[in-house]
Amino acid sequence: MNPNYLLVAQRAKHQCEYCHAPEVIFNVAFEVDHIIPISKGGLDESPNWALACRVCNLRKLDYVDGFDPVNQQQVRLFNPRTDSWYEYFAVQGEAPFLLESTTSIGRATLDRLQMNAPLQLRARAQWITLGIFG
Ligand SMILES: [Zn+2]
């Protein structure tokens, strides 16, 4: 396990800092993501760490940008350290509980991390039913 896991997980309240998956119902610890990958000059320091679920971390890989399908442009991804999740994302109030964004960065992140993929939607509906998504 990443030696910085506990610090990062507590700071994130054990919630994926991208899709807001609640770690409490998983049978595996979430991962310490480098927001700016080491391969792209990111530092292995606290301001560059984010808690990410396995799915988000696998989809983010070493990308730092994504495509906004509305404005048709490449923009940087959401940064959990400098951006407020609630300013970039909102969940629809009814099924299928899509995540939406009014920003290019939010839409590009939703697209890159496939945060509205069928399995994500299925899981999010359960988290909402259990009252552990927020
Ligand atoms: Zn996630």
Q: Give residue 83 CA to ligand 1 midpoint distance, Å.
A: 16
Q: Give residue 73 CA to ligand 1 midpoint distance, Å.
A: 23
Q: Give residue 34 CA to ligand 1 midpoint distance, Å.
A: 14
Mean pLDDT (the chain) is: 97
DSSP 54-96: HHHHHHHTT--EEEETTTTEEEEPP-TTTS-HHHH-EE-SSTT
Specify the pTM.
Answer: 0.96
Q: Give residue 46 CA to ligand 1 midpoint distance, Å.
A: 19
Q: Give residue 113 CA to ligand 1 midpoint distance, Å.
A: 8
Per-residue pLDDT at 61 exceeds 90: yes
Q: Give residue 19 CA to ligand 1 midpoint distance, Å.
A: 4
Read off the pLDDT of each residue in 5-23 and give the average, rounded to a whole number: 98
pLDDT given for residue 1 in this prediction: 85
Q: Give residue 114 CA to ligand 1 midpoint distance, Å.
A: 10
Q: Give residue 60 CA to ligand 1 midpoint distance, Å.
A: 10
- Helix (H) / strand (E) element for 118: namely helix 118-130
pLDDT given for residue 45 in this prediction: 97
